[in-house]
Amino acid sequence: MRGEMRHALLVAIVSAIVLAVAPALIGTYTLTLLVIYGILALSLGLIWGFGGILCFGQAAFFGLGAYTYAIAAINIGESTVPFLLGIAIPFLFAAALGAMMFYGRLSDVYLGVITLVVTLLFFRFMNSTAGPEYVIGTARLGGFNGIPGFQTLNVPGDPSGYIFGDAYYYLTAVALLIVYLLVRWLLASPFGRIAMAIRENELRVELLGYDARARKTLLFSIGGAIAGLAGTLYASWAEIVTPGMFSLGQSAEIIIWCIVGGLGTLVGPVIGAMILAYLKFALGQQSVIDNTLVLGAILILCVLLMPRGVVPTLGTELRRSFQRPQTGGTRRRPGASPAERAHV
Amino acid sequence: MDLAAIFAVEILYALASLVVISSGLAVVFGMMRVINLAHGEFMMVGGYATIVAVKSGINIYIAMLIVAPIVVGVLGVIVERLIIRRLYGRLVDTMLATWGLSLLLIGLASMIFGNTTTGISPPIPGFAIGRYQVNGYSFFIILAAVAILVAMFAVLAGTRAGLVARGAMQNPAMASALGYNPERVYMLTFFAGSALAGLAGGLFAPLLGLVPTIGSAYIAKAFITVISGGASVIAGLVSSAVLFGATSQIFTLATTPMVGEIALLLIAVVLLRLLPQGITSRFFRGAM
Amino acid sequence: MSDSVVQTRGLTMRFGGVTAVDNVDFSLRRNELRCLIGPNGAGKSTFFKCITGMLKATSGEVWINGHETTTWDPHQVARLGVGIKTQVPSVLDGFTVRENVWLAAHRVTAADGVASRVAEAMERLAVSSLANSVVGSLSHGERQRVELSMILASRPWLVLLDEPAAGLTAAEIATLGEIVTDISRDAAVVIVEHDMQFIRSIAGLVTVFAQGRILMEDQVDKVMADARVREVYLGRKN
């Protein structure tokens, strides 16, 4: 375990250097979004890749975090409490939703459908809140137009000390690194081991006396909290939150990041998110091909051609071309086993 | 009295529209255990096929009832051959791939038709019951739902193809031992399911303005109906459509459509908690 | 009756119209070694699953060590100190042998004692040399031993084994007999088994199931000589 943490530290240091140099190539405004998406991808990479929990609605927690922050910021002003609420509310919501699903022993497919439907409901509900009767405190939900004009993140205790621009980028970059290290630490802990064991063989773990339902619920909630963090950071970056955050397209994107980056790793989904989000940004500059179409095509091709994820597949191919051929079949989704997993 | 009649029609209409929306998905899920996340987009394609046909001068009934099912049925076969066939038995991968397909179709539709709303007007005028106005087209949807159910039952129970299909779904090895090619059965089943989705899209085209993202308006309801129904295609479809159609419509009439949808979801969640394999795992067991 | 650690009263399990376990009263004393035998479909595996919480009985009661566990989940039953081995070797194929056994030891041991507990359990099942191998790469017999090693590492006072001899070679079955005898020194053991040779080798009291009910309960030799037992076995097998 100690070796793993040392490895994680190394990855964090390398990433820190890359994140520090990146502004020389890409503007920090765009980079900030990429980093936020990286955190969001990490949340699903954790629960899906390591917990085997297929959530089709990670966008629900992302949007919930952003809306919570925006609503709280309008009501409170100073951003510290809204920031914390933006993490806590998605955590609690994920706990409630997860408890319901896992204690109900719903299978993968039903899990996917329920999380998808919940996300869709958020989307449709938020879209239908244009009327003045939809108010929380002094914050109008605003329907399709979303909520603009809330207090963005400030230095704790100093409401006029806005954090923006380059400083905001470095803040999100540090947040990403901290989340990465915390998740790595979590996975190296007994809780993480048992979570992976549950993914591998839930019955066996139960027969050893562990309560798989409670543990899955907790892991799912942690994933929700991280997605919520990404949402609060997004809210301050965009300075507006809209129902689009809850859209199926957003949920699909998170899944695509994880598939492309590879399940069973943490760095994979983060890189997948950053590359694809940048690609989308670049594609957004032209109007010949529709963005959604490209996204859909990528998802189909990945599932058909590289079910293990692009990064792990490329990694294996590279290693194979440098090493002697290995024995052993290819593994199926989700994720690599702990024994042979990449410690990244 | 008039109000009661209106309520009855509204509730019946809610049930019927759930049946229409979900039938294609029910066939594919019940028979192949495939969850087609692009079901809503198949309906969207059916809707556009109808509108394009009507605008080029084809009779609206022919457009809805014949053109739309055929167009989407053919699309379904292409999808089955190119994607679904490669993923049989991999439920989650199938869901992901069809999700990709749904995005792809949305993108394609917005490139071709743009993001503006198009529509056609219902071919049947409304009429009044006492002081209340009723949408005449509602009766057509109710009629269509009954026709779909009768046709599904007739095909499954009464024809050789239906018998082979049921056999192949229960035991692929048995069917191939008897000389039937399960691959062909799957392909035809997917064609039938897609054609039903196209029909549904056609039927709803005059009711809602069509946009490329319209699929997401249908898909949640369709999933909940089918999944909650369970493994029996027809009995599951009818029982959950009755349950959800009635409750969501009652809530909608009493409050707002949004509350109706939330009520529908909550009931579905409670139901899945109690009957994880769907309604037909406990009731109407062994029914088709 | 008061000294029984496992007891069922009128235990019944129906699947649709089929009654797999029919009104079974069963009792096991502390530190007893008991075999459940019977032809295919006799209901012994279903009975086993009802006791372990993997199935919830249609009616009747299950008591383990003074707790009514009828509606408990497997992890709750396991937490009473019950080690359970399922029919198909249930191990974590992607984990190493050591990680598998660690998982079992971790729940019942303080952090500083886990390593030695793991080493000891692996030693007793002779899988120490495989400690760092991925379980998925091992043979069927080795995986059975890994699973037994996990059960030992959790220090149970009651061990429930469902067909531990299934799929093993003759030599492996002989070793298994020794292992089971070893386990039964400080735990009560219930074994659901098919293999008569194996049952002979570990002796103990035998409960014979037929058509969801208990046909008889006696020593191995008496059971083997019994005409009714021969009838249900041979009548079914031919």
| Residues of chain C that touch chain A, judged by Cβ-Cβ distance less than 8 Å | 52, 54, 73-75, 78-79, 84, 86, 90-96, 99, 102-104, 106-108, 134, 136-137, 150, 154
Answer for the pair B98, B83: CB distance below 8 angstroms, yes or no. yes
Q: How many residues are present in chain B?
A: 288
**C152 close to C144: Cβ distance less than 8 angstroms:** no
3-state secondary structure of B116: coil
Both tokens assigned to B81:
């051959």
Domain holding C139, by residue range, is: 91-153
Per mean pLDDT, which range of A41-45, B31-35, B255-259 is the poorest? B255-259
- What's the mean per-residue pLDDT of chain B? 84
Contact C75 A338 (CB under 8 A): no
DSSP state of C218: E
Question: How is residue C194 written in tokens?
Answer: 């098919």
**Quick check: is C112 in a domain?**
yes
What residues of chain C lie within 8 A of the CB of A210, using their CB?
A: 75, 107
Measured CB to CB, residues of chain B less than 8 Å from chain A are 35, 37, 83, 86-87, 91-93, 95-97, 99-108, 110-111, 216, 219-220, 223-224, 227, 258, 261-262, 265, 268-269, 272-273, 276
Return d(Cα A254, Cα B188) in angstroms, integer.
34
Residue A90 pLDDT > 80, yes or no?
yes
DSSP label at A327? P
All residues at 6 or more sequence positions from B160 whose CB lies less than 8 Å from its CB, including other chains: none
pLDDT digits (tens, 9 = 90+) for B225-237: 888 887 677 888 8
Distance CA A331, CA C5 (A): 43
Q: Is A211 on the interface with C (CB under 8 A)?
A: yes
Q: What single-letter amino acid sits at B8?
A: A
Among A260-264, B177-181, C141-145, the range scoring the smallest mean pLDDT is B177-181
B neighbours by CB contacts (3+ pairs under 8 Å):
A
> Is C238 buried (19+), middle (13-18) or exposed (0-12) by CB count in 10 A?
exposed
Distances (CA, A) of A285 to A278, A282, A291, C160: 11, 6, 10, 65
Q: Residue A180 contacts by C-beta under 8 Å, 6 or more apart in sequence?
A: A8, A11, A12, A15, A42, A266, A267, A270
Cβ atoms of C40 and C32 closer than 8 Å: no
Helices H / strands E in chain C, number of each: 9, 10
Q: What is the ipTM metric for this complex?
A: 0.87
Amino acid (one-letter) located at C12: T
**Model pLDDT for residues C55-110, shown as the tens digit of each residue:** 999 999 999 999 999 999 999 999 999 999 988 878 999 899 999 999 999 988 88
Query: Which of A196, A207, A336 has the CB atom closest to C74's CB atom?
Result: A207
Q: Examine residue C160 and state whether it is found in any structural domain, yes or no.
A: no
The SS3 call for residue C195 is: coil
Closest partner CB to A292 (pick from B96, B107, B258): B107
Contact call for residues A157 and A78 (beta carbons, < 8 A): yes
Chains that touch C (3 or more CB pairs under 8 A): A
CB B50 within 8 A of CB B202: yes
Long-range contacts (CB closer than 8 Å, 24 or more residues apart) made by C217-223: C220/C35, C223/C37
Q: Is the pLDDT of residue A230 over 90?
A: yes
Q: What is residue A186's predicted lDDT score, i.e. its pLDDT?
A: 96
| Per-residue pLDDT tens digits for B192-250 | 999 999 999 999 998 878 889 888 888 878 888 888 887 677 888 888 888 888 888 88
Segment C6-35, tens digit of pLDDT: 999 999 999 877 889 999 999 999 889 999
Residues A292, A249 contacting (CB under 8 angstroms): yes
- Categorize the per-residue pLDDT at B175 as very low, low, confident or very high, splitting at 50, 70 and 90: low
Determine whether the interchain pair A337/C78 forms a contact, defined as Cβ–Cβ distance below 8 Å: no
Q: Higher pLDDT residue, A182 or A106?
A: A182
If pLDDT is split at 50, 70 and 90, which confidence band does A334 have? very low
Burial class (CB in 10 A: 0-12, 13-18, 19+), B281: middle
Q: In chain B, what's the furthest Cα-to-Cα distance?
A: 63
User: What does the pLDDT read at residue B174?
Assistant: 67
- Considering only CB atoms, which chain B residues are within 8 Å of A255? 96, 99
Dihedral sign from CA coordinates of C130, C134, C139, C145: positive
Q: Measured between CB atoms, which of C73, C78, C95 is closest to A339? A: C95
Residue from B45, B59, B54, B51 nearest B198 by CA: B45
Residues of chain A positioned with their CB less than 8 A from the CB of C84: 207
> First CA to last CA across chain B, in angstroms?
37
Burial class (CB in 10 A: 0-12, 13-18, 19+), A230: buried
Asked whether the beta carbons of residue C99 and residue A339 sit closer than 8 angstroms, the reply is yes
**Is A339 in CB contact (< 8 Å) with chain C?**
yes
Contact B284, B239 (CB under 8 A): yes
C chain contacts of residue A197, beta-carbon cutoff 8 Å: 92, 95, 103
d(CA A197, CA A190): 10
Specify the pTM: 0.85
pLDDT score at C110: 80
CA distance A36 to A30: 10
Under 8 Å between Cβ of A91 and A224: yes
pLDDT category of residue C158 using cuts at 50, 70 and 90 = very high
Under an 8 A CB cutoff, do A304 and B86 touch?
A: yes
State yes or no: cis peptide before A334, omega within 30 of 0. Answer: yes
Please indicate whether, in this complex, the C-beta atoms of A299 and B269 are within 8 angstroms of each other: no
In a domain, C238, yes or no: no
In a domain, C107, yes or no: yes
Q: Can you tell me the distance from the alpha carbon of B283 to that of A160, in angstroms, rounded to the nearest whole number?
A: 63
Query: Angle B248-B151-B271 (CA atoms, 0-180°, nearest 5)?
Result: 30
Q: What tokens does B107 get?
A: 């993108």
B29 burial (CB, 10 Å; 0-12 / 13-18 / 19+) is buried
B144 C-beta neighbours (distance < 10 Å), count:
21
Cβ contact, residue pair A116, B97, below 8 Å: no
H or E stretch including C174? Answer: helix C170-183
Q: What is the CA radius of gyration of chain B?
A: 19
Which pLDDT score is estimated for C231? 80
User: Going by C-beta distance under 8 Å and a sequence separation of 6 or more, which residues neighbour residue A121?
Assistant: B220, B261, B262, B265
Nearest by CB to C79, which of A193, A205, A209? A209
| Within a domain: C103 | yes
The values of phi and psi at residue A176, to 5°, are -60, -45
Where is pLDDT greater, at A336 or B203? B203
Is 60 exceeded by the pLDDT of residue A91? yes
Residue B111 has pLDDT above 50, yes or no: yes
Contact B11, B249 (CB under 8 A): yes
